[in-house]
Amino acid sequence: MESYCKTLTIEKLSPNGFVGGVVSDNVITEERIAFYLNGRKLLSVMSIPSEQDFHFVGFLISEGVLSDISQIKHLEIAEDGKSVSMEAEIHTENLENLFREKTLTSGCCVGVAGNLEGHIVERFVESEILLNPSILFKYLREFEIPSPLFSKTGCVHKAMLVLGDKTLVCEDIGRHNAIDKVMGKARMLGLNTRDCMLYVSGRLSLEMVIKAVMHNIPIVISKAAATLMGIKAAQETGVTLVGFARGERANVYTHSGRIQM
C-alpha cells in the first residue's frame, strides 16, 4: 500500500482562514499505464500501478477483444510497472472494432468503450443464482469497511466479487479500472463468474452494466445510484441491478426474481 500513496505537506483552510499551520497529508499515486497487444500499443490508462496484468485482461474481455484466457500466450508487466505486454490469439476484427466506434465514458478517469449498443444486443446473462437478501446485506457490510488505502487517501474506488464464500477485492482511482482488475483477476484464477455478485462503489451507468454483461455477472450492487441507460441495459441483458445499497436498505431496479427469501 505504501507505494501507492505519498505524504505531502499541506495547509488546512476554513471559512476563517488557514488553521493548524502546515500538516502532513497522504495523496494517492497514479501512473500512466500503457497496454500493448501483439506488439501494438492499444492505449494508456491512468491507474494505480497495481495488478496491471489483471487490469489488462479484464479490460480486453470487457471490450470483447478477448473471450477466454486460453487465448493468452504471454503476459508480462514491465519492470518499471508502467506498461503491460500481451501476446494472444485474437481475431483482427475484434481488435479493430475497439477503435472503430469509441465512446468517452462517464467515469472518473478516462475510459474508452467500443460499440456499446452492439454489446447490449448480442449478450444476455443466463444464471440460476437465487440470492437471499440476508446474504446480499452480509457482504454489503463487508464491502462498506474502508480499506487501508481508502482510509489513508479517500481517493479509490473498490470492486468486490463474491463467488460462493470466496471474495476478491480490487481498488483503483477509476471505477471502471477497479472492475476490470477484479474481473481479470477472477478470470486468471480460473473462477466462474456466472453465479456471482459484483459490488461496486460507483454509479451504475451503461458502461458499468456492459462490463458485467461481458463477464456474465448476473447481480451488480452499488452504494450509488443507477442511470436510466444503465437500468434499461440491465433489463435487456438479464442483469439484476441493485443501487443505493447502504446499511439495511437497497433499491432493486431490474430482474428482482433472483432475490428470494
240 conformational bin, left if phi > 0, alpha if psi -120 to 50, beta if neither: beta
Q: Which of 5, 108, 109, 170 is catalytic?
A: 108
Tell me the torsion sign for CA atoms 51, 149, 230, 124.
Answer: positive
Q: Determine the pLDDT at residue 103.
A: 43
Q: Determine the pLDDT at residue 95.
A: 74
Q: Determine the pLDDT at residue 120.
A: 57
Long-range contact list for 226-232, CB < 8 A, 24+ apart? Answer: 226/251, 226/253, 227/203, 229/205, 230/203, 230/204, 230/205, 230/206, 231/204
Write out pLDDT tens, residues 61-117.
Answer: 998 899 999 999 999 999 999 999 999 998 777 777 766 654 444 344 444 444 555
Q: Determine the pLDDT at residue 3.
A: 73
Q: Is the pTM of this model over 0.85?
A: yes
Domain extent listing, the chain = 31-122, 133-258
Q: Determine the pLDDT at residue 116.
A: 53
Q: Determine the pLDDT at residue 111.
A: 45
Task: Give me the CATH code for the 31-122 domain, please.
Answer: 3.10.20.10
Q: Determine the pLDDT at residue 91.
A: 75
Q: Determine the pLDDT at residue 20.
A: 86
Task: Confirm whether 108 is a catalytic residue.
Answer: yes
Residues of the chain scoring pLDDT < 50:
1, 102-114
Q: Give the architecture-level CATH label for domain 133-258.
A: 3-Layer(aba) Sandwich (3.40)
Q: Determine the pLDDT at residue 99.
A: 61
Q: How far apart are CA 32 and CA 166, in angstroms?
A: 31
Q: Determine the pLDDT at residue 123.
A: 85
Residue linked to cell 443505493? 244
Q: Determine the pLDDT at residue 92.
A: 72
Q: Are 119 and 215 in contact (CB under 8 A)?
A: no
